[in-house]
Amino acid sequence: MTKAEKVTEIIRILESYYPETPVPLDHQDHYTLLVAVLLSAQCTDVRVNQVTPALFKMAATPQEMVKQKVSDIAAIIRPCGLSPRKSKAIFELSKILLEQHDGKVPNDMAALEALPGVGHKTASVVVSQGFGVPAFPVDTHIHRLAWRWGLSTGKNVVKTEKDLKRLFPKELWNKLHLQIIFFGREFCPARGHQPLDCPICSKFGRKALFKQLQ
């Protein structure tokens, strides 16, 4: 099987399991999405969704957020981890949005990455899930699966993102990003993974995976 045929089959499998790909982080607009994605760093989406209702009840716009104390923001988001750093980033990026972007979240990667606490992956999620701009956000989970499936060398997330963008059609990037995340959670977890039971690893998994079973 050629690499192109392998990619086509992976697309088919992912589409069969996840024809719909709802955004996993609860949000009302671009700003609340940005904040939720920032909070999701080293935290589960489930935990973020448990925390954000209280945060957005207190402040759901940049205008409201800059009126809050950083310590009050930190107290609410503490369950997400890294609360001192994340609370400061939320406060500071809200100020910058007001001062430089008329209070609106930009749909430009460079402008997003210039915001405090917003790296390449966070910016990619915001433009893809918030604005529909083609992007392929690669977190540690997608990075792991891309290696398992033989789609990338697995050296780093930057290389993995380039490899996935080269292999998959641009018009599918936004959906595939979520499909791979959903698939990883259900069939291809980091721990307790059974390659022979995985619909993709059982077909295309690297040989190293199966040595673990011997």
Separation between Cα atoms, residue 20 and residue 32, nearest integer Å: 22
Answer whether 163's CB lies under 8 Å from 171's CB: no
Catalytic residue check, 121: yes
- Residues 6 or more apart whose CB falls under 8 angstroms from that of 106 comprise 112
Catalytic residue check, 139: yes
Catalytic residue among 26, 88, 139, 155, which?
A: 139
- Residues 6 or more apart whose CB falls under 8 angstroms from that of 79 comprise 47, 50, 51
Catalytic residue among 26, 69, 86, 121, which?
A: 121
Which helix (H) or strand (E) is 72 found in, with range?
A: helix 70-77
Catalytic residues: 121, 139
